[in-house]
Amino acid sequence: MTSAHPRPSLRRKLVLSSAFAVAVALAAAAVLAQRALSRWVARHAADTLTTAARLMEPEIAPLLAHNAGVNELQPLAEVLGRRGGTRVTVIARDGRVLADSDQRSEAVLRMDNHAGRPEVRDALRGVTGVSFRRSDTLGTSMLYLAWPVTYEEGPVLGVLRVAVPATALEELRRELFQAVLWSLLLGGALACWLGWIQARRLAQPLSQLAVTAAAYAGGRTTAPVPISDVREIHELGQALQIMEGRVRDSLEVVAVERNQATAILNRLAEGVIAMDREGRLLLVNDAARRLLGLAPEAPAGESFFELVRQHELTALAAEGLKAPARASQPVRLLQPEERLLLVHTVPAPAESAGPHLVLVLQDITESEQYERLRKDFVANVSHELKSPLTSIRSLTETLLDGALQDAEHNRRFVELIDQDAARLTMLIDDLLALSEIESHAVPLRLATVPLRPLIESVAASLRPRAQGQRVSVAVDVAPDLAAEADPDRLRQVLFNLMENAIKYNHAGGRVRVAAQRVAEGLQLEVEDTGIGIPAKDQPRVFERFYRVDKARSRELGGTGLGLAIVKHIVEAHGGRVGLSSQPDRGTIFTVFLPTPR
């Protein structure tokens, strides 16, 4: 089992170990160096301040011996402070501040008693006091040295305190520390670099061996085995090279068999799903993924019952896992699209170590649709042919029974026979045209067709019928507008739509034919002010033999195939046809023809 976090490499471990050891050494050295430098700086500063205090004592001691006050000591303290570049403070034995080089006389009188200062306490005991702290008076860090003042080897008369700001000391200590630290870091970097080189010498051939082994595991047996001057690594490489030769043949055989099986399964029109005893997927071919709407990367090992949300199919699979037996059952799927499948359950032999159940999905949707269409077509054609044939037979029997001698009626009977024969001819012509369009028996002959002359020609051929029903026809098309289409087929589309617009119009109604250029194509509209089409019938008007008003359609001579022919011709051009209609307010048929690419 592969860990979620990658394991660190040998090179990384060696370098990190070396870096850690060097870092610890550097840290220890830096701490020790800092302490040593701090002591050295403090000692150096204290020696400097001690020398300054000794030089100032002869001038301070006589004044303290004669109990001089602030007025006598303050000017001297200011002079000594400027001369030595330090802060000079004179403190009486009782802790009162008698002079301070950084304060005015009146401020000196208000200063706190300094008897409690650590360096002052030491000096009052007769020893030199040193302290490094923040000055309450100045608000900055200072290094203080308190010198006990005596006169002619007498008792301690007071304290001479000399101080310098800590900033200079800190700067000196920082510069010295940086110099030491950079030296240590340079040495550490050199040590890490040498460690990296040694780690690389050991880790690089091992990494190459790992890459080679991974290549062998992935079937790439031509990967080279690295050569190393380390004996153990060299022996490992030789062993891996021997293993490669033995694995190569097995991998080639397995790869050939796997590729053949995968190619065969993915080229099958039927979907194939294999699962284990718990219903986990072992194999799903492309056809099954497409039929069930599964993602191309649907992983093996997932539960079939969690991935597939089709109740009938999952129930059939559950039954097959529970009681293994060959069975076949039609299953209707609603997602991702409505399909009818014939599902075969094929259990595996009991002793098989592979799949426990195999489902074979056979898509019989088109077969069912063709069968239904065939039955509907035969029924519709039989019905459409039966009426005129029955009428013709009835009329001929009447004539044969003596109506031929009836000069008053025999001509009317013959005219009725001629009308029924014409209706049969029109029906057969429409069936042949529809068959040619659907089978692509006659290819489209695309050309640039000027629209206005074509529409006016169709309108002229329909003018007698339009005048008979008192319907006006208007053409609203620009003279220079043209379509890329088959002229004969486009004429057939316009004729059927305009004929219907006239046929199902009211007396005194209007028909308007318009065309305009739209994005990526051409749009034609045939609008009428006729009886309209109810909303429930609109989705079916393009079906063969479908009539909204069957009695009126037959009375007006319709075959029920005109709109089906229009739809197939438009779709053959790559276009689409639609309609909008309201009963008793008219209908608009819209045809979109794309621009050929």
Domain end residue (candidates: 345, 361, 377) = 361
132-167 residue pLDDT tens:
777 766 667 788 888 898 887 788 888 988 888 767
Domain end residue (candidates: 361, 391, 419) = 361
Tokens representing 325 are 């037996």
Specify if 104 maps to a domain: yes
CA 313 to mean position of chain CA atoms: 31
Specify if 304 maps to a domain: yes
Query: Residues 572, 458: one domain?
Result: yes
Chain position carrying tokens 């459409």? 384
Closest residue by Cα to residue 544 from 383, 308, 358, 345: 383
215-231 residue pLDDT tens:
766 656 666 666 666 67
What does the alpha-carbon distance between residue 422 and residue 392 come to, in Å, rounded to a whole number? 11
| Strand, helix or coil for residue 125 | coil
The pLDDT value recorded for residue 220 is: 65
**569 contact partners, CB below 8 Å, separation of at least 6:** 437, 489, 490, 492, 493
| Strand, helix or coil for residue 379 | helix
Closest residue by Cα to residue 67 from 157, 160, 150: 157
The pLDDT value recorded for residue 592 is: 92
The pLDDT value recorded for residue 524 is: 92
Q: Which residues pair with 345 in a beta bridge?
A: 327, 359
Query: Residues 129, 274: one domain?
Result: no
The pLDDT value recorded for residue 571 is: 87
Specify if 206 maps to a domain: no
Q: Is the peptide bond before 347 cis (omega within 30 degrees of 0)?
A: no
Query: Residues 397, 469: one domain?
Result: no
Closest residue by Cα to residue 534 from 499, 504, 570, 575: 504
| Strand, helix or coil for residue 193 | helix
Number of domains in the chain: 4
Query: Residues 40, 161: one domain?
Result: yes
The CATH number of residue 569's host domain is 3.30.565.10
| Strand, helix or coil for residue 510 | strand
40-68: burial string, b at 16+ Cβ within 10 Å, e else: ebeeebbebbeebbeebbeebbebbeeeb
SS (H, E, C) 40-101: HHHHHHHHHHHHHHHHHHHHHHHHHHCCCCHHHHHHHHHHHHHHHCCEEEEEECCCCEEEEC
The pLDDT value recorded for residue 512 is: 93
CA distances from 509 to 47, 423, 465, 468 (A): 124, 26, 13, 12
Specify if 228 maps to a domain: no
Query: Residues 357, 489: one domain?
Result: no
Specify if 194 maps to a domain: no
Specify if 233 maps to a domain: no
The residue range of the domain holding 397 is 368-436
Query: Residues 388, 341: one domain?
Result: no
Concatenated DSSP letters of 480-505 = T-EEEE-HHHHHHHHHHHHHHHHHTS
Query: Residues 122, 39: one domain?
Result: yes
96-116 residue pLDDT tens:
988 988 888 888 888 888 888
Specify if 19 maps to a domain: yes
The pLDDT value recorded for residue 180 is: 67
The pLDDT value recorded for residue 325 is: 78
Query: Residues 110, 53: one domain?
Result: yes
Phi and psi for 584 in degrees, rounded to 5? 65, 10
Q: Residue 540 has what DSSP assignment? A: G
pLDDT mean across residues, the chain? 77
Query: Residues 72, 123: one domain?
Result: yes
pTM of the predicted model, to two decimals?
0.40
**234 contact partners, CB below 8 Å, separation of at least 6:** 227, 228
What does the alpha-carbon distance between residue 585 and residue 506 come to, in Å, rounded to a whole number? 10
Query: Residues 37, 147: one domain?
Result: yes
Phi and psi for 488 in degrees, rounded to 5? -65, -45
Query: Residues 542, 584: one domain?
Result: yes
The CATH number of residue 401's host domain is 1.10.287.130
Domain end residue (candidates: 361, 395, 426) = 361
The pLDDT value recorded for residue 551 is: 47
Mean pLDDT (10-residue bins), the chain, 597 residues? 54 66 70 69 75 83 84 87 86 89 86 87 86 72 85 84 75 69 73 72 70 68 64 71 70 68 71 82 80 72 79 82 81 78 78 73 72 58 62 71 67 69 65 62 80 90 89 90 88 88 90 90 91 85 69 53 82 88 89 82
Terminal Cα distance for the chain, rounded: 55
The pLDDT value recorded for residue 558 is: 56
The CATH number of residue 310's host domain is 3.30.450.20
CA 592 to mean position of chain CA atoms: 36
Query: Residues 585, 452: one domain?
Result: yes
**186 contact partners, CB below 8 Å, separation of at least 6:** none
Specify if 514 maps to a domain: yes
